[in-house]
A = this chain, B = another copy of it.
Amino acid sequence: MYGSIAEIYIFYTLCHDFEMNIFNRFKKRIYLDYAAATPLHPRVLRAMRPFLTETFGNPGAIHLEGVRARQAVEMARQQVATTLGIRSAEVIFTGSGTESNNIALLGLLKKLSRKDGIPYSEMEIVTTRIEHPSITNVLPALETAGVVVRYVEVDSEGKISPSALAAVLSPKTVLVTFAYANSEVGVVQNVTRLVREVRRYEKEQGTKIYVHLDAAQAPLWLSCAMERLGVDLLSLDAGKCQGPKGVGVLAFRGTLGLSPIMYGGGQEQGIRPGTENVAAIVGAATALTLAQNDYKARAQKVAMVRDVFIANLKKVWPGVVLNGPTGEDRLANNINISLPGFDTEYAVVYLDAHNIAASTKSACAGAGSGESTVVTAMTGDTYRASSTLRLTLGADTTEADMKKVLAVLLRFREKMGPVTSVSV
């Protein structure tokens, strides 16, 4: 009996190997869109598996199946807390990074309005013009309620300067929100320095200003230690750091008493209702921990591949412009270039046909054409903003991969020749 199972297994293995060989020989893809989606880490899938099969209980139930599910959720919460250096009561699980951002903004201001009695018209939010749609598209809802949104201008590399930030703070400021690392151009903000500026102003004014950090792009490459960062709220998205899609984390310091934006059961401290997505929560905790465990070595390795590519590209394509900063101020895996005069949406299609996955900008900002609002906000240069190409690397991206990318890009240039007008 076991003989026949073994035979089936050998046959399966052979088929699988054969398939993989075909895949590798004819379809070896170079995936450079880590900012949009990441493959699940094998250890994450392994951690999730029991909760996709036998351990399926509702964590709200008091029987064995429920208790096991509850234990898994609370262990995951403790794991995330440890990874971020906070207490487990300061971690809630949400349905996505988008939802974490929505709760951070809407839930905090609703709390300030309902519980602290501050009218919306007496509240100001400070942010930038280079945030992700899950921040920028939330703001109009708050503006409708009477909140004033003030924008810190970023410099041409996307950096927020402490003095520019200080200049827009006001006694009415209740929230400062910005991305740790920008998903399009990869600019990394000096969070601790900016927070220090906020704390200084707070002290002067005797007010409380919450600082929210959208850290969706950070875990694989930057430290997410919340104490050191000094922020009050932090959004994370498991799907962006080799965890499953459909699960986010909202971390906060102390007992903020955030108001919910959806209503239902009392799950997640009454802040985020709905049966806990046990498998995804376990996956998120595993992914975040793995990401943070060795982010430094990973970042160092990938930044080198990034910098070699940028240097090589500049050598052979003098017209190319790097969007965003260089060195430590740039996310280790982010390459964002403008190829003025070229249709980079077509470049993405061309690269794809040559088995390279790239993008022009954020997938959430619409896959189609049109200029990058991020690059426009940074540079005011719509010509440059209309010809962006984003390559976001993974931990396993090699210099050889990037050499191939460079070769394909040069073939693209040869094939196209520069166009004279920008397609809109």
Of the stretches A29-37, A201-209, A290-298, A313-321, the one at the interface is A29-37
Chain A, residues 32-46, CB within 8 Å of chain B (1/0): the string is: 010011111000010
User: Does A232 sit at the interface, judged by CB under 8 A?
Assistant: no
- This chain's copy number in the assembly: 2
B60, A364: Cβ atoms closer than 8 Å: yes
Interface size on A, residues (CB 8 A): 83
Chain A, residues 355-371, CB within 8 Å of chain B (1/0): the string is: 11111000111111000
A63, B274: Cβ atoms closer than 8 Å: no
Q: Name the 6 nearest CB pairs between A and B, nearest first.
A: A246-B277, A265-B364, A60-B363, A95-B95, A134-B264, A96-B274
Contacts of A57 on B, CB cut-off 8 Å?
33, 36-37, 357
B264, A66: Cβ atoms closer than 8 Å: no
Smallest CB separation, A371 vs chain B (Å): 16
Chain A, residues 65-102, CB within 8 Å of chain B (1/0): the string is: 11001000000000000000000000000011111011
Q: Interface of A with B (CB < 8 Å)?
A: 2, 5-7, 9-10, 13-14, 29, 31, 33, 36-40, 45, 48, 52-54, 56-58, 60-66, 69, 95-99, 101-102, 132-134, 137-138, 140-141, 237, 239, 244-247, 261-267, 273-280, 345, 348-349, 351-352, 355-359, 363-368
B363, A275: Cβ atoms closer than 8 Å: yes
A6-B10, A102-B262, A262-B99 are contacts. A56–B29 as well, Cβ < 8 Å?
no
- State in angstroms the CA–CA spacing of A363 and B52 once bound together: 19
**Most B Cβ at <10 Å: residue of A96, A101, A132:** A96
